[in-house]
Chains A and B, each alone.
Chain A
Amino acid sequence: MAESHLLRKCRHSGLTLAVACGALLALPWKAPAATIQFLEEPGEGDFNVTGVLKVTDAKCEARLVFNWQDQSQEHYLLVVRPTEAKLVFVSGGKVQPLGNPAAIKLQPGQAIPFTLQRRDWRLALVWGDSVLLRGYDARLRDGQVGYTAEGAEWEDLRIQPVGDIVVYDDFVREAGAESVWEPQCGVWQMRTLRDDEQAAREEADKSANAFSYVGAGEPVAISVAGQWFWDRYALEASAKPQGDAVAGLVFYYQDDSNYLALRATGRHSARQDSNRVQLIAVRNGQTTVLADKPGGLLPGQWYKLRVEVCEDRFVGLVDGEVRLVARSPLFGQGQVGLYVEGKDGVFFDDVGCDLWEALAEDFETVVPGKWALGEGWVQKSGALYTTDTKPSQALLDGQWRDYACSVDAESLGGGVGLVFAHQGPQDYCLLRWAPASAACSFAGQLQLLRVGAEGENVLAQQPAPAGVKKARLRATVSNEVVTGRLGDGAELSAVVPGIFGGGVGLYGQAKGMFDNLNLQPIPLRRGAHVMKEFAETDEHPEMAEWASTRAPWVQPAKGQNVWWTKGDYFGNTALKFTVPKVGSRTGSLTAILAGDPELGEQSGLRLTLSTTSGAKKVSLVVSARDQQLGTAEVEVEEEARVEFGREGRLLVVKVNDEIALTTSF
C-alpha cells in the first residue's frame, strides 16, 4: 500500500485535541487504517524528536513522520517494525530508502527511549543508548512532525530545536560565581593566580590571564557544560595535570556512568596505565578502551587537549597533533566536560567548544541516498570509480562553510578532481588533475577552476608531477580564498569574492578511482582578546600585568612607537581594527604580520593605511621588506573596519567586509 495513502492527514490544533477530535470524527465514518497525529509544534531548522516507543503487540508497526510538507505531502518517515527500523523519503506515493535499515527485536512490554536527529543534511536515530540508523537527505526543510502506531504507542513525544553549539570559558570570574559548569563528581573550584601555589613561578608576560578551573577526585572528577542534544562538536581545553593526575575531556556525556572521554595519563606516573593517551567509552560504569597509544603528559606542564566528534567518529589530539581515531555508535549525543582522575588534580583553562561538521567517507558501505552519482560512477570494493569518458560528478548534498577537504585520487587513464564550494551545477570550484598520458582535456596539468554560468575559468594551474598516477587531492575554501594541492606539491590559491563554502563532490573524466574522502571545518580563529581593563593594582598587584588593555601587547620603549604582540602568531593570521571617523584627520598607520621586533617595523608583511582630512577614503599600500606589493583606494562613509590577513601565499585586505586588495608574496 502506498505510504501517502496510509498517511492521511488529520489537521488539528494540538496533539491532545487531535486525539479527542479524531475519536469524535471517527464515530460516523470508518477511520483510515492509520491516521497521522500531528504535534502542535512544527520541526523547524535542525531539531530532535524525543520520546519513548512502548510496544504493546508482537505485530506492531510505528511510524514517525517529519518534515511533512503541507502542499506536496512529501515527508520523511521513520518506520519501526518488530524486526526492522528504517528511514525513508516519501514523495508522490513513492518511497526511497535513506541509509540502510537496521535489524531490531521488539517484544510486547518493551519501552525504548529514542531521539530522532534531523540536521541540515543528516538524519539519525538514537535508539536506547546507541545510534541505530543514519541517513542523508537535504530535500525537505521544516514542516510538521506526526506519528501513527499500531500495536505500539509513542509516548512523551517532544521537539527540541537544535541551534548553535558553543561554549567558551576563560574562567575570568571571581571564585564562587555562577558559571556554565555543572560538577558531576569530584571537587571543582575556580582558582586565580593569587591562590595558585605556582603563582610565584609564573610570568605575567607569558600568560593570557590568571584564572583557571581545577578539578580533583577519586576515581574520577567530571564537570560538564553544554546541552544533552549536542552531537557534532570540537571540544578543546588547556590542561595542566599535577602529580599523578590524569587529564581528559568528556564528550557525549549522559551521566557519570555513561560517557565517552579522551584521557591522558602521566608520562612518569606510578599508575599501571602510565604514559598513555586513550579514547574510552564508559557504559553502565564499565570502561572500554576504544583507542590507545603511548605518550602521556608531564605534570606541571600545560597541554592543549582536543576531541573532534562527528557522527560515530572521534579524533583525539594533543597539542594539535592527531593521536587517536576511534569509532563507536554509543550515545550519539551529549554534553561536553572536563575529566580528572586523581586527588592531585588538573588545572583547566581556555575551554572552547564549537560546531564540528566533519565527514569521513571510506566507501566501504553503500549508503542509499547519500551520494548523487552521475553517469558511469560505481561504488565497489571500498572505493568509488568513474568510467564515463565525458566529465561527470558524484556529489554529496550537504553544505559546509570554511573547510578543508581531501581525497585519494588515482588516474586509471583519465582525469580526476575534487569539487568543492558547490552551490549548484553552474556554481562551484574544482581542483582537477591528470597525468600527461591521460585521455582528457587537461592532461599533464593540475588546475584550480571556478565554474560559473559562463563556463570554466582557470584560477591557477601548474604542470602535473611526472610519473604520478595516484595522489591525495586537497582543497580548502575559507574567507573568500580557495586553495588546491596535489600530494605535498606546491599550493595553488586564488581569491574568489563571495565564496565561503558549499557542497563537495568528486569529478572524473574517463577512468579514475577515489577513496578516503575527508572533510573538516577550518577552526574558527580566536582573537587575541582584550579581557579586562583594571585599575585597582594597589589592592591586586598580581593583576597589574594581566588585567589591562595592554595585556596582549608589549609596551614600546621610550622613543619607539611600535606595539608588538607578546606572542608569536604562525600560519594564516589576520589583524582587525577599526579606523573611526574617516576624513576627520590626516594620518597613517601600519599593521604588520609575521614581523620580528628585533628587525623593527620594516620586517614582516605590512599594510600602511592613510587618511586625509576632508576625504572619505582610505589609501592602502601592502608591502614586504622594501618591496611594494599592491595599492588600493577605498571610499568609506564613516568608519573603516579593516582586516589585513594572510591566507597561504596571499595577502588580503578587506575594508568594511569587502575585499579591497589582494596580492601574493
Chain B
Amino acid sequence: MKRLVVPILLTLVTGLLLTWAYAATVRIVFEAESYSAIAASMTKTKSSVASGGYYIEIPLRRPHGQEEGAPGDQGRAYYKIKVPAAGNYRFWALCHWYDGCGNSFFLKVDDKPAVVLGQDGTYQRWHWVKGPLLQLGAGTHSITIQNREDGAKLDQVMLTNDTRYVPVRAMQQTPQYIIR
C-alpha cells in the first residue's frame, strides 16, 4: 500500500497544478441587462432575438445624428464584476449599430478614463465588437457603458484572458463573476 501513496500524491499534486493552470483561462460573460444600475436615456428593451430576452440601448432619436458635439445625456448602465485572477483581459461586446452615426458607446472601467467602444461599419446586425485590452487585478471591478451616440445597442459583454479567443455567438452567462 505504501508503494501506492507516493504515486497517488504525485498524481493529486500534478492534477491540482494542472487544474490551477486550466482555471487560469477565464471567461466572464454577462448580459447587458444584468446591470447594477441604469440611468436614462440608456434603456432596457425586450427582444426575441437578444440573448436573455433583453438588450440595452440608447434609443434612436429623430432627427438622428444632428449634432456632432457631446452626447445628448449621461445615459449609462453600470456593472460590477468579480475577476478571479489578475491578468490582461480582452473586452468584447455584442452590439448592434444603427448607422455610422450610431455605432459606439463610451466604455469606462473602474476610475480609468472612458474609451470609445465601436465605430466599426457593420450596421443593422448583431456582431461582436472588439474592445480594449484591460489590465485587471483579482477582485471587484466596475464597468460603465455610457451614451456616445443614439441608435447603439448592447446585448452581452465578455472579458477573457485568453486573448486568442474570439466570440462568434451569444454565450452562456457566468453568474459567478457578476455582482448585482
User: Which A residues are closer than 8 A to B by beta carbons?
Assistant: 14-17, 19-21, 23-24, 27, 40, 45, 158, 160-164, 166-173, 177-180, 227-229, 351, 529-536, 549
Contact = CB atoms under 8 A, between A and B. Distances in A.
Contact of B127 (A40, A164, A169, A228): A164
Contacts of A533: 63-66, 101
Contact of B12 (A20, A163, A172, A530): A20
A255 to B, nearest CB: 15
30 contacts: A16-B18, A16-B22, A20-B16, A23-B14, A24-B12, A24-B15, A27-B7, A158-B165, A161-B167, A161-B169, A162-B168, A163-B168, A166-B125, A168-B121, A169-B122, A171-B121, A178-B119, A179-B119, A179-B120, A179-B121, A180-B120, A180-B121, A180-B130, A529-B99, A530-B99, A531-B100, A531-B101, A532-B65, A535-B66, A536-B67
A14 to B, nearest CB: 6
B15 A164 contact: no
Contacts of B117: 178
Given A170-B100, A229-B166, A535-B66, A27 B8 contact: yes
Interface in B103-138: 104, 116-123, 125, 127, 130
Interface of B: 4, 7-8, 11-12, 14-16, 18-19, 21-22, 63-68, 99-101, 104, 116-123, 125, 127, 130, 162, 164-169
Given A21-B15, A532-B65, A178 B118 contact: yes
A531 to B, nearest CB: 6
B86 to A, nearest CB: 20
A282 B45 CA distance: 48
Contacts of A167: 120-122
A138 to B, nearest CB: 20
Given A17-B15, A172-B100, A166 B65 contact: no
Contact of B99 (A17, A162, A228, A532): A532
A168 B100 CA distance: 11
B4 A27 contact: yes
B67 A14 contact: no
A177 B19 contact: no
Nearest to A46: B168
Given A172-B100, A178-B104, 5 more contacts: A14-B19, A23-B15, A158-B165, A161-B169, A532-B101
A529 B66 CA distance: 17
Given A20-B12, A24-B8, A535 B63 contact: yes
B161 to A, nearest CB: 13
Contact of B116 (A19, A160, A177): A177
Contacts of B116: 177-178
Contacts of A15: 22
B121 A169 contact: yes
A170 B101 contact: no
A531 B103 CA distance: 12
B19 A163 contact: no
A172 B63 contact: no
A17 B101 contact: no
A170 B22 CA distance: 41
Contacts of A171: 121
Nearest to A548: B63
B109 to A, nearest CB: 16
Contact of A163 (B8, B63, B169): B169
Contacts of A40: 22
B21 A16 contact: yes
Contact of B100 (A162, A166, A532): A532
The 4 lowest CB-CB distance pairs between A and B, nearest first, are A20-B15, A163-B168, A172-B100, A16-B18
Contact of A158 (B7, B18, B164): B164
A53 to B, nearest CB: 18
B168 A161 contact: yes
Contacts of B164: 158, 160
Nearest to B129: A180
B132 to A, nearest CB: 9
A523 to B, nearest CB: 16
B168 A534 contact: no
Nearest to A227: B166
A229 B66 CA distance: 39
Nearest to B4: A27
A228 B120 CA distance: 18
Contacts of A27: 4, 7-8
A160 B128 CA distance: 14
Contacts of A45: 169
B168 A164 contact: yes
A160 B166 contact: yes
